[in-house]
Amino acid sequence: MTNRYLVSRERFIAATPEAIFEILATPAMHSVIDGSGTVKGAQPRGPERLSAGAKFGMEMNVKVDYKILNTVCEFEEGRRIAWRHFYGHVWRYILEPATAADGTAGTKVTEQWDARAVRGKFFLRLAGYLRRHPVSIEETLARLDHHLTGTAEVNG
């Protein structure tokens, strides 16, 4: 069963889950890998590295500059990390050790935007998030891959 309020994409990256997790758990790196073009940087007073329950702010821009406070809501060191903000969307990364068809060791990285529990889903549709997130997530995964391996192509 599919749910349009759970957008999920995956990609094999030739890097260890621990190396990938280190980037995801570092808010200052989020603007480097962001494929949506909306994440501008981490707010200076937040933690340098995320942990369970950590709160961290990000500088954002969707037509106007704004700040958003996130809370880490899922955390399994080296394997899973997710955060949400006041509206309830969850951004989740799941990391699983994997081997490519050519025998290269790496990680299957799954990124998800989960808005199944959000009220006011009409506004998400109206704002176009359901159309934009699949492409943005694929671009984020490509940027993450490129940052770690230098081999993936990115569009922006």
CB 141 within 8 A of CB 109: yes
CB 11 within 8 A of CB 145: yes
CB 23 within 8 A of CB 29: yes
Q: What is the pLDDT of residues 50-73, one digit of tens each?
A: 999 999 999 999 889 989 999 999
Return the HEC string of the chain. CCCCCEEEEEEEECCCHHHHHHHHCCHHHHHHHCCCCCEEEECCCCCCCCCCCCEEEEEEEECEEEEEEEEEEEEECCCEEEEECCCCCEEEEEEEEEECCCCCEEEEEEEEEECCCCCCHHHHHHHCHHHHHHHHHHHHHHHHHHHHHCCCCCCC
Q: What is the pLDDT of residues 135-151, one digit of tens each?
A: 899 999 999 999 999 98
**Above 70 in pLDDT, residue 43?**
yes
Lowest mean pLDDT among 11-25, 86-100, 120-134: 120-134
Amino acid at 10: E
User: Residue 122 — pLDDT band, cuts 50, 70, 90?
Assistant: low
Q: What is the pLDDT of residues 73-98, one digit of tens each?
A: 999 999 999 999 988 889 999 999 99
Q: What mean pLDDT is reported for the chain? A: 91
